Each structure stands twice: as structure tokens, then as C-alpha cells.
A and B are shown apart, each in its own frame.
Chain A
Amino acid sequence: MNLWKLGIKNIRFKPLNAFLSVLLLALSIALISAAFHLKKIYENQVDANILDIDMVIGAKGSPLQLILSSVLHIDAPTGNINYNQAKKIVRNPLIKTAVPISYGDNYKGYRIVGSTEEYFNVYNAAIAKGTFFNASKELVIGSVVAEKLHLKIGDEVTSSHGLTEGIESHEDKLKVVGVLKSTGTIIDQLLVTPLETVWHLHEHGGEVHEHEEDKEVTAMLVSFKNPMGMLQIPRRVNATPGMQAALPRFELERLYGLMGVGFKVISLIGIAILIVSGISIFISLYRVVKERTYEIALMRTYGANRLQLFFIVFIEGIVIGVVGYILGICLSKLGLWFLKNYMETGYKMNVKTLFLLPEEWWLGGSVIGVIVLATILAVLPIFNMNVSKVLADEN
């Protein structure tokens, strides 16, 4: 026999006492943990994909839309810009690299992006199998695309119009020549082809772009040599008719400001429930102590000291805490797992989740703190109990 056994037996004797407390605690932990994870996933998503893209040049429209479409590939583009004009603007000593991208087609829901070989450098993407492209109509595909669509070197695919799985297909076949290593960035979910392919696919009927100066791209991904660029170049871009400059970090911070409110609300609801669950644990322990006042007096006659009695009650609290915490974390994991699947199939996003965040350890620590407090408050009335009176009243 020991204190642990006594505490556990007490819980098992009346499990319903602890049930509500466990439930409330699990719910609050699940909400808070989910909010932490969502925030983390979002931050990772942004950090992984912005890399050193300092500025995006695209057609006039919503700057946020331009970033979402050209950097995160989750929205429609704002339009096209003249390639030559764009090239002129980026011929500037403050600019380190400027990578053109052009898109508008997909293969089974995965976007086909026309670009140059520099595009692979933006994402530090290396070839796993095959080679980079050398000619028009050749494709280098991301690791997720290769895996999900079971594509391998030499396979031929037919692209469809639009950015989501569509009806209208082009007749020309594109050939897979390379598969990229996994990078954990958006390029894993893209099919990359030379710019010429995209231009070729869109030469409908008589509308042939014969002249170099008529060629268009969707956006330019720009990185600056030094922060001075950030001050000068966007102004020049915005002064050019039909063009705008958008700064990914700025736009996504803005978006985060909006989403951040959401995370905060979830966290606050979680904290509110955590407080309620703390009160519930206290009430549950207090009732337990009241109910067992006589038994506690009896244990005192057996030779138990007050600290031992405190521990018996504390063990009950801690079991509620640990079970509630683990259940809550499991609930949050389950929720995130569904969300991850949804995002990966629905949005073709590669979501990375961590097992336990440092914040969740803190959360576990606060739960223990709450339980210590609840136990102290619950046990206080019996700490100076009049053993004699309790025994005499019962007999």
C-alpha cells in the first residue's frame, strides 16, 4: 500500500467525480494546442516559401493576390505583364536575381509553371532523378507531384487549361525529364517547364507571338542585393503602366495580422475553458475531501500526517491533469491530422506538423500549476481539521 495506490483507488471508486474535470481540461488543452500548431504551420508555410523572394512584379491588382498566386500558388494570378518591359526594370545593380514565371495550366490539379533554370535556385531544388529541362515541352516535376501522380521519367502528360483540374485540354504532350528532391517548399507540388512551353501552349489560332517584344509572363520573382532596392525599385515598378510590385513579407504579415486574430480568439477560448476546468478540478477535489472527511480523520488515527493526506488528494488531481492533458493533445493531433489531409488534398499544400511544441510543454506546466493550486485550496479546510470532532460526530 502506498499513497499512489490510495489515490488511484479513490478515483476508481467514484470515477464520475473526475470525469467532467478531465473532459473540460481535455477540451481546453485541445483548443490551445491546436491554436499553437495552426500558428506554427502558418509561419512555417510562409517562411519556407518566401525564402529570399523580396519582391514580386506582376500585373496590377491586389498585391496580396499576386503574392498568394505567384509565391504560395493558392490563388489565381492578377494577369500578365510584358516580359521585355519587366526585363528592363530588373536590369538594375540593386537586383540580385529576377526569375520570370508564367503559368495558367495544370495537370490533374497540380500547377504547371513556366520559368527558367534559375527558378530551381530560388527553392534550392536539386535533381533527384533525370535532368533539368533543355528544351520546350520538357517537364521537371516536384517530389510530391511525382509521388501522388505516380509520374516517372519519360512519362508524357497533357496539360489542362486553368489552375484547377479542368475539362479543356491542350493537344500537345509534355514529357517528364526530371524529378526534384523534396525541398519542403511549394516547388514540391509544381511541374516546371521552360517559359517557351507556356508561350507555345497559348499560341491559339492565328494569335502567334512572332516578336520577342510581345512575349508575356505572369510575374517576376525578385531578390535584392541590398535593402536599398526595397526603397527604390517598387516605386519604379508601380510607375510602369499595368505593373505593380508586391512585397511578400509585408503582404503576408498583413494577412497574418488578420489570421492572427483568429488564432488569438481560439487561444482565448481555450484559456477561458482552462480556467473553468481549473475551477471544476478544485470543486471536484473539494467535494472529494468533504465526502471523505471522516476517512481522512480515520487515516490520521492510523498515523498519517497532513502532508501524506495532501498527497493523496494531489494524486487524484494530477491523474485528472495528466489524463486530461494527454487526451487534449490527442484531440488536437486528431484535428490537425484531418486538417492536414484536407489541406494536402484540397489545396495541394505540404503541411509539416511537429509532435510537441515548446509551448505545449509550457501548457503542461501550467496544468500542473493549476492542479497544485486546486489541491491546496481543496485540502486547506482539512489541514487543521479537528480529528476528534469529526470522529465524535460520526459515531
Chain B
Amino acid sequence: MLQTKTLSYHYTPNVQLTFPDITLSFHENLLILGPSGVGKTTLLHLLGGLLKPTAGTINIQNVAIDKLSQKKLDAFRGKHIGIVFQKGTFIKSLSVIDNIKAKLFFSKASVSDAEIKDILTTLGLAEKINSKVRELSEGQKQRLSIAIALCNKPDVILADEPTASLDDENAKNVIELLSTYAKEKQANLVVITHDHRIKEYFANTIML
């Protein structure tokens, strides 16, 4: 469940971004489209609790996250929100499996090794479980980024240009993976992108 009202963020008095209200009930997905520079990433970061809105409210799972203290917000984010980043970026000193375990550690989730293996197998990373992250290909990095976002079973998945650097085939795979997960877990999937290829997968679309 995700709901925003009269959300706005001011970088400077001259750069003020306002966003349309969003209301998503269980397992509803949303695609936010728009060219660069209109504040897509800002909106995503507001939804993820990485930025505090200048005005307006954000409710996730009936918690007003704009009212939470920094420490509670960190904990809430870890437990309820999974973020997939555009470029697969990880903790470089850790292996594939340890990156997942680090995420689970910080989000205080207890997930069995078998479940981790399942996720990695689904994403075609079973072979790479002990590899160093720098040895992965671009596609594999993107999939690992998804695995990390999903491994602790968040209620909201925020994806920032998850398909930008992928070919048609991989872009399709990634979106299907994310939608399938959202459907199974009754989670909300919010994707921001300028990639029109993936429009057909979403019922709700907002143009910024």
C-alpha cells in the first residue's frame, strides 16, 4: 500500500518540484515515465525515504514515513522497501552471496540459505554465488541488484531505470521478474523510466 498527497520537494527556491498524488492498493503497479531532469529520481527517493519532502505526506503500509525519525526511517526502509538501481552497484569487497547477506543483515530479515539460493537460481545467478561482484556481466549485475532488492521480501519495490542498459530480451525478462514477484508477494512495484519499451506491462502510468 502506497499513498502520497500533495508531494513537493524544493531544491532551491527556484527549483521546486511538485508531484501528482499516487494511490496504490495491494499489488498494484505503477510506471512513472518522463524525460531526464523532471524529477523522476527525486520522486523515487522521496518514496524510498531517502529524501524528506518539503511538503505533503507519504504513507507506506499505513505508516507516514515523512514523520519518522532518521533511525526509524532507516529501519523501516530496510524492512519494507526494496530499491533496484539503474546500474548494478554493490559492496565491492563482498562476493555475490555476501552482498545478499549484507542486505539481509542490515534489514534485519531472516531468510534461509535455501531461499537465497532459490532467488539466485530464478535470476540465473546460481553459478555465480561465490563470485566477486566485479566479475559479473552488466546483465548479471542488474539481476543481482534485483535479487538484493527482493531478498528480504519488501512490500514496495522501487526501480530506477532498471532496463536502461539492457537489450530488449533482458529488459523484458527484468520487468517480468519484478512483476511476477510483486504479484506473488502482493507488493507494490513502482518503476521510473524513460524507456517506453516496458509501457505495455503496466496498467497505471504517470507522465511527469
CA–CA, A300 and B41, complex, Å: 17
Q: In the complex, which residues of chain B have a beta carbon less than 8 angstroms from the beta carbon of A252?
A: none
Chain B residue at smallest Cβ distance from A302: B106
Q: Is the CB of B93 within 8 A of A12?
A: yes
Q: Is the CB of A2 within 8 A of B160?
A: no
Interface residues on A, range: 20 to 34
Q: Is the CB of A302 within 8 A of B102?
A: yes
| Interface residue? A304 (CB, 8 A) | yes
Q: Is the CB of A394 within 8 A of B105?
A: no
Q: Is the CB of A303 within 8 A of B89?
A: no
Q: Is the CB of A13 within 8 A of B93?
A: yes
Q: Is the CB of B106 within 8 A of A395?
A: no
CA–CA, A298 and B88, complex, Å: 11
Q: Is the CB of A388 within 8 A of B50?
A: yes
B92 in complex: contacting residue of A1, A295, A308, A395, CB < 8 Å: A295
CA–CA, A193 and B120, complex, Å: 87
Q: In the complex, which residues of chain B have a beta carbon less than 8 angstroms from the beta carbon of A254?
A: none
Q: Is the CB of A301 within 8 A of B50?
A: yes
User: Shortest beta-carbon distance, A19 to chain B, in Å?
Assistant: 16
Q: In the complex, which residues of chain B have a beta carbon less than 8 angstroms from the beta carbon of A294?
A: 89
Q: Is the CB of A304 within 8 A of B85?
A: no
Q: Is the CB of A303 within 8 A of B106?
A: yes
Once A295-B92, A301-B48, A305-B75 are accepted as A-B contacts, the answer to whether A1 and B102 lie under 8 Å apart by CB is yes
Q: Is the CB of B74 within 8 A of A395?
A: no
B89 in complex: contacting residue of A2, A298, A302, CB < 8 Å: A298
| Interface residue? A392 (CB, 8 A) | yes
User: Shortest beta-carbon distance, A9 to chain B, in Å?
Assistant: 5
Chain A residue at smallest Cβ distance from B50: A388
Q: Is the CB of B161 within 8 A of A395?
A: yes
- Which of B70, B71, B78, B91 has the most chain A CB atoms inside 10 A of its CB? B91
Chain B residue at smallest Cβ distance from A298: B89
| Interface residue? B104 (CB, 8 A) | yes
CA–CA, A299 and B161, complex, Å: 20
Q: Is the CB of B160 within 8 A of A395?
A: yes
Q: Is the CB of A1 within 8 A of B105?
A: yes
Q: Is the CB of B108 within 8 A of A395?
A: no
Q: Is the CB of A1 within 8 A of B93?
A: no
CA–CA, A305 and B107, complex, Å: 10
User: Shortest beta-carbon distance, A388 to chain B, in Å?
Assistant: 4
CA–CA, A391 and B94, complex, Å: 19
Q: Is the CB of B98 within 8 A of A303?
A: no
Chain B residue at smallest Cβ distance from A390: B50
Question: Number of B residues whose C-beta is below 8 Å from A?
Answer: 36
Q: Is the CB of A392 within 8 A of B89?
A: no
Within 8 A of B (CB), among A2-17: 2, 5-6, 9-10, 12-14
- Proximity bits, B82-104, A CB within 8 Å = 1, else 0: 01011101111110001001111
| Interface residue? A387 (CB, 8 A) | yes
Q: Is the CB of A388 within 8 A of B79?
A: no
Q: Is the CB of A392 within 8 A of B41?
A: yes
User: Shortest beta-carbon distance, A196 to chain B, in Å?
Assistant: 80
| Interface residue? B64 (CB, 8 A) | no
Q: Is the CB of B45 within 8 A of A299?
A: no
Q: Is the CB of A305 within 8 A of B89?
A: no
User: Shortest beta-carbon distance, B202 to chain A, in Å?
Assistant: 21
Once A298-B89, A301-B83, A395-B161 are accepted as A-B contacts, the answer to whether A9 and B106 lie under 8 Å apart by CB is no
Within 8 A of A (CB), among B145-160: 148, 160
Q: In the complex, which residues of chain A have a beta carbon less than 8 angstroms from the beta carbon of B92?
A: 13, 295
Chain B residue at smallest Cβ distance from A296: B91
Q: In the complex, which residues of chain A have a beta carbon less than 8 angstroms from the beta carbon of B83?
A: 301
User: Shortest beta-carbon distance, B34 to chain A, in Å?
Assistant: 15
Chain B residue at smallest Cβ distance from A304: B106
Chain B residue at smallest Cβ distance from A294: B89
Once A1-B104, A388-B45 are accepted as A-B contacts, the answer to whether A303 and B160 lie under 8 Å apart by CB is no
Chain A residue at smallest Cβ distance from B154: A303
Within 8 A of A (CB), among B26-59: 41-42, 45, 48, 50-51
User: Shortest beta-carbon distance, A316 to chain B, in Å?
Assistant: 11
| Interface residue? B141 (CB, 8 A) | no
Q: In the complex, which residues of chain B have a beta carbon less than 8 angstroms from the beta carbon of A392?
A: 41-42, 45
- Proximity bits, A275-318, B CB within 8 Å = 1, else 0: 00000000000000000001100111111111010000000000
Q: Is the CB of B50 within 8 A of A387?
A: yes
Q: Is the CB of B91 within 8 A of A395?
A: no
Q: Is the CB of B77 within 8 A of A301?
A: yes
Q: In the complex, which residues of chain B have a beta carbon less than 8 angstroms from the beta carbon of A391?
A: 45, 50, 85
Q: In the complex, which residues of chain B have a beta carbon less than 8 angstroms from the beta carbon of A5?
A: 98
Q: In the complex, which residues of chain B have a beta carbon less than 8 angstroms from the beta carbon of A304?
A: 74, 78, 106
Could you give 26 example pairs across A and B, Cβ below 8 Å? A1-B101, A6-B91, A6-B102, A9-B93, A9-B98, A10-B93, A295-B91, A298-B90, A298-B91, A301-B83, A302-B78, A302-B102, A302-B106, A303-B77, A303-B106, A303-B108, A304-B78, A305-B71, A306-B74, A308-B106, A387-B50, A388-B50, A391-B45, A391-B50, A394-B89, A395-B41
Known: A1-B101, A10-B93, A308-B106. 7 other contacts (CB 8 A): A295-B89, A300-B77, A388-B42, A388-B51, A392-B45, A395-B85, A395-B87
List B residues at the A interface (Cβ < 8 Å). 41-42, 45, 48, 50-51, 70-71, 74-75, 77-79, 81, 83, 85-87, 89-94, 98, 101-108, 148, 160-161
List A residues at the B interface (Cβ < 8 Å). 1-2, 5-6, 9-10, 12-14, 294-295, 298-306, 308, 387-388, 391-392, 394-395
